[in-house]
Amino acid sequence: MSGRRAKRERAGQAKQPIPPVRRRRKAAPAILVVVVVVVVVVVVVVAAVAATVALTRGGGAGASAGQSPQGGSAAAPLQLRGSDPISGKVVSLANYAGEPIVLNMWASWCTGCHAEAHALATFERTHPHVQVVGVDIQDTVAAAKTFYRHFGWHHPSIFDPSGVIAARFGLQGLPATLFLDRRHQIVAKILGETNLAGFDSGYRRART
């Protein structure tokens, strides 16, 4: 009996299904992770450089009628024209040929613009010979007029309610100030709010 039982047990053991082998997932090679990280970094850097170049060169062609920033590089002077939200008159940088220009990009809804508005008003008051021109971006006429009255601004602005000019300059935020020399080429810029010293410093570079 013991011999038969042993045979039956061996036969039963022979028919027992083999548990499936669990294959471990191979981890992604470390080199692949490094390549992905490098690609992401390169894309971010290229995008940042492109935005900076667009701002420095003053945008490109194809702006809507009445709002066309062109030039601003060493090859051509910056050209910008549009209506004033305060007076309704046409404002053009060409009207100030041979004069340095402080070009301030602003909006009544912009917190940083409020923060630097008094400094710009002081700069304008203490430098009556300097031509300041604003660009009012994605704003309303009523809000722009209230802003001017509140801060005592007197310089002309070019109205950009749809943000076309801002897009051509590649601006990522407001305020931003460009300083143009006598040939209306961009020689300095301040991205973000500044103070009286910042306006003075930028203008000194523009007038040389």
Question: Tens of pLDDT along 2-40?
Answer: 555 544 544 444 433 323 434 445 444 556 545 544 554
Q: What is the pLDDT of residues 119-162, one digit of tens each?
A: 999 999 999 999 999 999 999 999 999 999 999 999 999 999 99
State the DSSP code for 160. E
CA 14 vs. chain centroid, Å, equals 74
Instruction: Say if 40 falls within a structural domain.
Output: no
Does 111 have pLDDT greater than 80?
yes
CA 20 centroid distance within chain = 58
Is residue 82 domain-resident? yes
In a domain, 166, yes or no: yes
Total domains in the fold of the chain: 1
Q: Tell me the CATH number at 193.
A: 3.40.30.10
Does some domain include residue 127? yes
142 located within any domain: yes
Helix axes 111-126, 141-151, angle to 10 degrees: 50
pTM of this prediction exceeds 0.75: no
> In which domain, by residue range, is 163 found?
58-207
Q: Is the pLDDT of residue 112 over 90?
A: yes
CB 191 within 8 A of CB 173: yes
As a whole number of angstroms, the distance between CA 99 and CA 103 comes to 12
